[in-house]
Amino acid sequence: MKLLPLFSLPLYTLAQVQQPAHFNPSNIGPLSVSFSGTGCPQGSVAASISPSRDVVTLSFDRFAVYYGPGYSTAAKQRNCGVKFSFNVTGETGWQFVPVETTFHGYAALDKGVTAQMYAAFLDSYTEGVSSTKVVLEGGKDLSAAGDVFTKSVNVVPWPPTIPTSRCVSGNMSYNMGTDVTMNLRVAVMSRNSTTTGSFFGEDESGERNIFTVQVRLLWKECKNLGGFWG
Ligand SMILES: *[C@@H]1O[C@H](CO)[C@@H](O)[C@H](O)[C@H]1NC(C)=O
Ligand SMILES: *[C@@H]1O[C@H](CO)[C@@H](O)[C@H](O)[C@H]1NC(C)=O
Ligand SMILES: *[C@@H]1O[C@H](CO)[C@@H](O)[C@H](O)[C@H]1NC(C)=O
């Protein structure tokens, strides 16, 4: 499986999110991410954050999902838990909310086969949950021969809470990550067991076998450090 250079993909199609006027990206420290799951074995994920600190890009090198004769049940679904963490410098406290996701990849689906991409965001403090879902249908959105797809969807909150990172500023006396977890799952399914579907299969060039997920963050100033939405 080849890994494409991160910024060669034309992925910045997400709608612009208006950050607060006094938001200063240089106050947001390096991105730290950790991964675990069947779709993201060690060393198979590249992660980066845009200079404007509002788009996290995750490139999965081995997030392959297959449906069809000869494939195991385990192959039909893969998942990955991704935990985001940042440091914040300066006296102003900041926290973020994931607001939009873009899924980009390559899949070949027979007619009647669907590929479902699902991401749930959670924060452990408020126990807030939000999610995004994209369903691609073989014979409609994608062909049996394979196509590249790019789909952007808003993150939908599940009331009453919205997953929000913990409020952090640089002059806190201890390190507290702004952690929010994204649970990503891809499943390929069909009612017809003789059909096949390959999510993130290889195209002729062998160059497109990568699954990329971008998450757009909305930053918000906060005051009750260590707490939630101020
Ligand atoms: C945040 O800063 C602390 C203390 O300097 C450091 O130990 C930690 O690794 C940093 N975290 C990130 C996500 O950069
Ligand atoms: C940061 O530290 C300054 C001075 O040390 C203090 O006045 C300010 O209240 C602190 N900010 C926060 C958000 O705690
Ligand atoms: C199942 O899929 C195969 C291959 O695409 C097709 O020939 C067959 O007609 C399908 N069966 C049903 C019941 O749709």
| CB atoms inside a 10 Å sphere around CB 215 | 26
Is residue 17 one of the residues assigned to a domain? no
Residue nearest to atom 7 of ligand 2 (CA): 91
Task: Report how far ligand 2's centroid is from the alpha carbon of 51 (Å).
Answer: 26
Residue nearest to atom 10 of ligand 1 (CA): 87
Task: Report how far ligand 2's centroid is from the alpha carbon of 91 (Å).
Answer: 6
Task: Report how far ligand 3's centroid is from the alpha carbon of 114 (Å).
Answer: 15
The predicted pLDDT at position 68 comes to: 95
Cβ contact 55:214 at 8 Å = yes
The pLDDT tens digits of the residues spanning 163-204 come to 888 787 766 544 455 578 999 999 999 999 999 999 986 655
Ligand number nearest CA of 197 is 3
Is residue 138 one of the residues assigned to a domain? yes
Residue nearest to atom 11 of ligand 1 (CA): 87
Spatial distance between the Cα atoms of 58 and 56, rounded to a whole number of angstroms: 7
Task: Report how far ligand 2's centroid is from the alpha carbon of 36 (Å).
Answer: 36
Contact 171 CB / ligand 2 (< 6 Å): yes
Q: Give alpha helix (H) positions in 83-201.
A: none
Q: Which two tokens stand for residue 153?
A: 């969807």
Cβ contact 14:57 at 8 Å = no
The predicted pLDDT at position 144 comes to: 96
Is residue 25 one of the residues assigned to a domain? no
Contact 85 CB / ligand 1 (< 6 Å): yes
Is residue 20 one of the residues assigned to a domain? no
Provide CB contacts within 8 A for 172, sequence distance 6+.
225, 226
Spatial distance between the Cα atoms of 76 and 70, rounded to a whole number of angstroms: 11
Q: Which two tokens stand for residue 175?
A: 């390190």
Q: Which domain holds residue 193?
A: 30-222
The pLDDT tens digits of the residues spanning 81-104 come to 999 888 888 878 888 889 999 999
The pLDDT tens digits of the residues spanning 27-79 come to 888 788 899 999 999 999 999 999 999 999 999 988 999 999 999 999 999 99
Ligand number nearest CA of 88 is 1
Atom of ligand 2 nearest to the CA of 172: 14
Q: How many domains does the chain have?
A: 1
The predicted pLDDT at position 12 comes to: 40
Is residue 7 one of the residues assigned to a domain? no
Strand partners, 98: 217
